Amino acid sequence: MIEETNGQPKCHLGNLGGEELIENLKKEGWNPQECDASFRYTPLNERVGGVFMACEPFEEQMMLPQELMPLFPSTGITMTDDSMTAAGISKGDVLILVCNAPIYDGKVVLSMVDGKYLVRFYFGDGEGNKWLLSKNEGVEPICISDRDDVKIIARVLRYVSDAPSMSYSECNKLTKTAKRTVEKPKVASKKHAQWVIRQLGPKVKGIRDWFSFYRPLVQYSVVKNMDYQGFCKLIKDTLPDHKPQPKYDEIQRIDYGCFRKPVEEWTPWSSPFKQRNRFIQYQEMAETVIRYLELEEKYEEASGESHEDLTKSHEKMA
């Protein structure tokens, strides 16, 4: 239950407190004279004020803001099992303990039962029986009234959970959405797109293969999203003699799953094709189309000229 060093519970936090809180603890029954005068913790095998202190001595001291740990005397232990998850205490959480504090019904305590450390709710019923309870299903209540192998070590006043985290996929999804809102939209001219179609279109052997051109042209604002008829017309005007020509219904039928996303977000497990090799063919062609579409911007950046008739320059760059 507790992190141990050389068989003794490991202390995480030091003694801290304020005068007002100390006075409040005195009213609840805490006696400072029963604690070590240096306010250092004593080993587990020594009693202090009738209870066991769940800490080791320490030599170095560190000053922390009083607001962080307004308890006196106090320590922290690490929860190492899942026996209290229904109460919100998970494995790995740090439990803040206070010794010499009164124990009330329904409060969480650190106890030792048959040599094992347990964190449970304390409860005394109307018949005089004392219990250690958990809200977790499958964790049986323990009656400690007539047992001599049970010790209540300290009261748990609060717990500190691990800092929350986000999965890689969640982070990636959020950043992609954010980047699309701030990135400069990618645009290619119609004339340049027709040059790309003339360069790569002859490699198309099937009607559906034209989809590898459709999504990149949508990304670069050459055709509008879901304008399948406009896309088919562009291919026909550019390569009127090429067969096969794209068909409106076939392009529409394949436009689902990851194929509705930008090419860089295509994934085989959400593609329209069950065969991975088929998906890879589409992905590789779409990536090639994008590289050719990007040549226009690269040329303009290098030459400072606008796109008028760059066929010869394109052929050299490609």
Q: What integer pLDDT is reported at residue 163 of this predicted model?
A: 73
Q: What is the DSSP letter of 45?
A: T
CB 42 within 8 A of CB 9: no
Domain for residue 167, yes or no? no
Burial of 204 (0-12, 13-18, 19+ CB in 10 A): buried
Domain for residue 87, yes or no? yes
Asked which of 130, 160, 190 is the last residue of a domain, the reply is 160
CATH number at residue 60: 2.10.109.10
Angstrom distance (rounded) from CA 202 to CA 197: 8
The answer to whether residues 150 and 196 belong to one domain is no
Domain for residue 54, yes or no? yes
The answer to whether residues 79 and 209 belong to one domain is no
The answer to whether residues 201 and 302 belong to one domain is yes
CA angle 131, 2, 164 (to 5 degrees): 100
The answer to whether residues 296 and 193 belong to one domain is yes
Question: What is the DSSP track for 114-157?
Answer: TTEEEEEEEEE-TTS-EEEE-SSTT---EE-TT-SSEEEEEEEE
Asked which of 160, 189, 215 is the last residue of a domain, the reply is 160
The answer to whether residues 209 and 156 belong to one domain is no
Look at the chain and report how many structural domains it folds into.
2
CB 72 within 8 A of CB 13: no
The answer to whether residues 103 and 189 belong to one domain is no
Angstrom distance (rounded) from CA 308 to CA 45: 89
Domain for residue 166, yes or no? no
**The tokens of 8 are what?**
């003794």
Sign of the alpha-carbon torsion through 256, 261, 262, 265: negative
pLDDT (tens, 9 = 90+) of the chain, 318 residues, equals 444 444 444 444 334 344 565 666 566 555 655 443 333 333 333 333 333 344 444 445 555 554 545 545 567 888 889 999 899 898 888 888 887 778 889 999 999 898 889 999 999 998 889 999 999 998 999 999 888 888 888 888 888 887 777 888 888 877 876 776 666 778 999 999 999 999 999 999 999 999 999 999 999 999 999 999 999 999 999 999 999 999 999 999 999 999 999 999 999 999 999 899 999 999 999 999 999 999 987 776 665 554 555 555 544 544
CB 124 within 8 A of CB 102: no
Q: What integer pLDDT is reported at residue 240 of this predicted model?
A: 96
- Pick the closest to residue 209 from 245, 159, 234 (CA basis): 245
The answer to whether residues 191 and 111 belong to one domain is no
Angstrom distance (rounded) from CA 104 to CA 150: 17
Domain for residue 144, yes or no? yes
Range of the structural domain that residue 129 is part of: 4-160
Q: What integer pLDDT is reported at residue 108 of this predicted model?
A: 92
For residue 159, give the H/E element and its range: strand 150-160
Domain for residue 268, yes or no? yes
Angstrom distance (rounded) from CA 41 to CA 195: 80
The answer to whether residues 123 and 23 belong to one domain is yes
The answer to whether residues 131 and 251 belong to one domain is no
Domain for residue 172, yes or no? no
The answer to whether residues 140 and 209 belong to one domain is no
Question: What is the DSSP track for 282-302?
Answer: HHHHHHHHHHHHHHHHHHHHH
Q: What integer pLDDT is reported at residue 62 of this predicted model?
A: 53
Report residue 119: phi and psi, to 5°.
-110, 120
Asked which of 160, 189, 205 is the last residue of a domain, the reply is 160
Counting every residue written for the chain, the total comes to: 318
Residue 80 CB neighbours (<10 A): 15
Domain for residue 170, yes or no? no
Q: What integer pLDDT is reported at residue 300 of this predicted model?
A: 65
The answer to whether residues 106 and 214 belong to one domain is no
Helix count (H) and strand count (E) of the chain?
Answer: 8, 11
The answer to whether residues 238 and 284 belong to one domain is yes
